[in-house]
Amino acid sequence: MTSETFASPEDLNTAFLVDQYGTYERLHKIGPIHRVKTSDGVHAWFVTSYAEVRRLIGDRRLVRRRTDAEGAHYALPAPPPLTSSVLCQDPPAHTRLRKHMNKAFSVARVDAMTPRIQEVATGLADDLERGTVVDFMAEFAAPLPITVIAEVLGIPETDRHGLRTWGDQILSMDPAQMQQGGAQMNQFLMALMAEKRANPGDDIWSEWMATPDGGGAPLSTEELLGMGYIVLLGGYDPSARAIGSCVLALLSDPAKMELLRDNMELIPRAVEEFLRLYSSNHSATPRFATESIDVAEVTIEAGDVVLLSIAAADRDPAQFGTPNAAEFEGPNGRHIAFGLGPHYCPGAELSRRQVAISLETIIRRLPDLRLAAPPADIDLRESYFIRTPNVLPVICP
């Protein structure tokens, strides 16, 4: 491996937009780590092999807060509440915030939410207009996780209309849009905080605003804003993408759909395979090296930016028998779509449940659902971070 992996470092984004998965195949043949320049002009190390991503993702020498790594200059292009959220913190601040997060999305809590997730999914499936082309993202994949996360946070139905638009703006990677969406989300969360302070409810937001059980300092306004941001964005966008991508994959492959329809017990495995193939972030949150770290023949220097490509790792032929195809039976390795280590996604269980319920509900209640455009014509939102259907035209006769 050398720093000449790409003809010019700018190629990272271009290569992705042209052929993301082909790019990974090429990178896997070259080596585990590559020198790149991202679309926002940052020179970084891009780690692609499963073994190295897995090793580095929990490595304490790689930190999230730029100020924790001397010489690091890159500022994450995201609004401040997000950059000061749990996602971009290191211990001890991270540990304190994670306790609240873990409690909120424990398996027991997700179990308790499951009947309601099923009820919302059934309602959305039954309400899908028949005999005409509809956008599955707008009619099912987005409203399901938005409804669930809004209910978890105690956001009244009448106040939810802006959430998807602001979330999409914040995740657009376009500075003007990010600022606009960020400002609206800020305003919304500040108002929600004031409302919950005056009228606490039986919801996680009210729980986070109260003094923690057993004492300790309550979360500050800045910390609460960060929690609200990351949970609204994390709770909606990746789950909507996962549901949309799963449905696109199944509707594009009638044999696989048939297999699942006849063997519903394979759904949990199908969910894991679709998460591996389509939901893994192309890059995890940027990390900064606090000291030099050797990876293959390369030395990452203190202050360097490191991008761990979970999506590349999850398609590494050294780890997966069928790296680019879903395998519903037999062994096929363990994916890391939800990350690993201290920053492991606290919403993993909730997402798995929502995706599995979505698939099951569609198979049972919308057995004739089909794509209303050839798979190659589906409009995708792509960046060096994520890949997802923007609009998913479907029709149910």
Residues within the interface to ligand HEM (CB under 6 A): 86-87, 98, 101, 105, 230-231, 234-235, 238-239, 242, 275, 279, 281, 284-285, 310, 337-339, 343, 345-347, 350-351
Smallest gap, in angstroms, from Cβ of residue 203 to ligand HEM? 13
CB environment 144-161: b (16+ within 10 A), e (fewer): bbbbbbbbbbbbeeeebe
CB of 289 to ligand HEM, least distance (A): 15
Q: Cα separation of 2 and 230, whole Å?
A: 36
**Are the C-beta atoms of residues 315 and 277 closer than 8 Å to each other?**
yes
**Closest distance to ligand HEM from the beta carbon of 52 (Å):** 15
Q: State the Cα–Cα distance between residues 284 and 311, nearest whole angstrom.
A: 9
Q: What is the dihedral of CA 336, 349, 353, 171, to 10 degrees?
A: -70
- Distance of CA 376 to CAs 78, 79, 357, 372, 389, Å? 31, 34, 27, 12, 11
- Which residue is listed with tokens 């198979």? 363
Tell the smallest beta-carbon distance from residue 134 to ligand HEM (Å): 23
Residue nearest to ligand HEM (CB): 347
As measured in angstroms, the least distance from the Cβ of 101 to ligand HEM is: 5
Coil, helix or strand at residue 168 = helix
Start-to-end CA distance of the chain, whole Å, equals 53
Shortest gap between Cβ of 133 and ligand HEM (angstroms)? 26
